[in-house]
Structure 1
Amino acid sequence: MTGGHRRPPEGGVTRRGLLGLAGLGAASSAGVFGMWKTASRQAPLTVGGTPAPSPSVTPSPFAEAAGDLGGTVRFVPGKAMLGSYLGLDGLTYPEAAKLRREQLGRDQRITHVFYAWEDKLPDRIEGMPKNAVPMVSWRGPKYAEILDGDADDLIAAAARRIRDLGRPALLRWGWEMNGDWYRWGGAKNEQDTEGYVKCFRHLRKVFDGEGADNVSWVWSPNWNSSPKQEWNRIDAYYPGDDYVDWVGVSGYNLHREAPATLFDPVYAKYSPRKPIMITEVGSKDYGGATKADWIRQLTAYVEQRPAIGGVVWFDTDTHPSYPEHWRLDSLPDAAAAYREMAGNPRFSG
């Protein structure tokens, strides 16, 4: 989203952070996914046999076997995990998950939760479907707080808690760093894009040192940069292939943008070597069937992009400071279109 939509209150935990805390409680099912390996670090694969992409997109190497791409949360060629951040007014997370299961006829595969930098990260998530993958979006501080070493104990404790989930997990630290609305963005850190890179690498090293080898690392910029200046280009924040397991991207249909407009630039640049995940997505309702039509456009878009291994809807009507209801069932035809997407074999990852 734009800065006005994304800016959290200064000096406090956002509503999403509080919802993340409220999700703790019941034990997860350890061992559901079997054994995992430490995230792979390998050369790009050979391109072969991909569906025809749009003219602006470089073909990706993901139509055939993808080896260990994705780290512990494996990328499966031809399959996309469908999930959501789920925060519905008046419902606990277990109640909301039950409602969506009834509406969609299936559980969702990614459970997205948000945590503040100072929060304890989850070692269990109440109500998470048995076969779901948790995706933890973890806010950051200013870069200096990490780079001077003062936060090492906090980071190590976070690593141990994620390790204790006992299942593969996605960690999305410091997302949308190319926007000007978060304190961990380059715009809030004297345009120091290299500082972000150093922070990301440092976090991964600490997690590895704590034995948190169940973590797949998600690097997740916003679809466009704000400010739109050369120093703030997306690739300036990339930590490197050795540190990133999934490349994510946030993009919302706020101004009638097509999915290709939102996601193709990141897809074209990174899909030749990394699986892609749409880590936050939603659509504004412009009246009539516009929201349902956009969901169907998104479905078709993912069908044509074989490197997309995950789509995570921002399914909420509780977002602070923005009146749009992103929940998938805000309209009956939108709910029907989303159910069609959930039943599409492309989303059976």
Structure 2
Amino acid sequence: MENALVTAATGRTLPELSRQELTEYALPGGDRQGKLAGEGEVRSPAIQHESVAYFERRGLLAGREVVTVVRNPFERALSQLFYLLRLLPEARTLFTGPSWADDLKRLAAFDGLLGHDLGACQVDWLKDGAGEVRVDRVLRFESLEEDFASLCADWGIRAELPHEMDSGRKFPWWQYYDEEARRMMAEKYGRDFEEFGYESGMPATGADEGLEERHHDLGKDRGFRESGRLMVPDGSLESLSAEGVWERFRPLQTILLAKDCRRALKPGGVLEVVTPDLAALGGLEDDPEFVHGYLVRHVPDAHCEAAGYVVNDLIADCRFVYDEGLLVETLAEGGFTAFERIEKPGWLVVRAC
């Protein structure tokens, strides 16, 4: 939102502003000035996430309207958890599952500084030096586009609100919580529920009708690529595909991955793994038809139809190449009990449930 408003106010984008201008308006890239936090204040390592009290100490509030965006605390906590797992390796040693509800309980019990002040309510960021809430306008994340348009209309400006950093999450927040996690989070962020009028209970039965994702492609999951965790609720999927995934991990890691896939699948749900076949790589010399077809599709600049081109292309991004026995073993260790081999020349394709 700050990008859109800066452009509307100055006719320039954030990268075009000088360091002095960024500092003057406490924008990303500016120099931090003054204490990180006063006694009892919330803390942040980044200026753009600072509190009203910080901006007050900087003398930036006089004559200005304070606008904030708030979010359903349950949604915010889940988004915060995913953010920490994607970007902070140390978070992956704290939030270890096995279920998302378990990690949400850990987050609810954690009050320290890990990227941000995880003990703070949203309302804490809006208090001035006297401890009073100092905000003139509250926008809701759930209706941000409409609220932002209303703000711009009232201010008499035109600004486009970009949609950036979309997590791609397709499931509603309540599918990640159990009752204990909900209770703990409602207690931790109780002042936010009271101040901003959010409901602190679970939605009525049937609220998630039509919201379910039945199939998930692990190879296209950005959250998984960044965190190594499958960011879907427990028991929510009918099927999972994992093409180009298993070979990026060594066996002990794929056992953990298989457990995470088993957690995400409904009873009877199917995981299909597609990965280069170690047993087939040595026999490519005897399969010129496969070599020809593969090179045409994947290595068109090969100067001759040699099996070596195929082997090196297949394993270029591999950390480990599996044979059928070892792949099935990792799946079995992860909790799968039935396996079916699907024939595909050069590839190891196994469906597990």
| Alignment TM-score, normalising by the size of structure 1 | 0.24
Query: If each structure's helix is expressed as a fraction of its own residues, which one has the higher value?
Result: 2
Larger Cα-atom Rg: 2
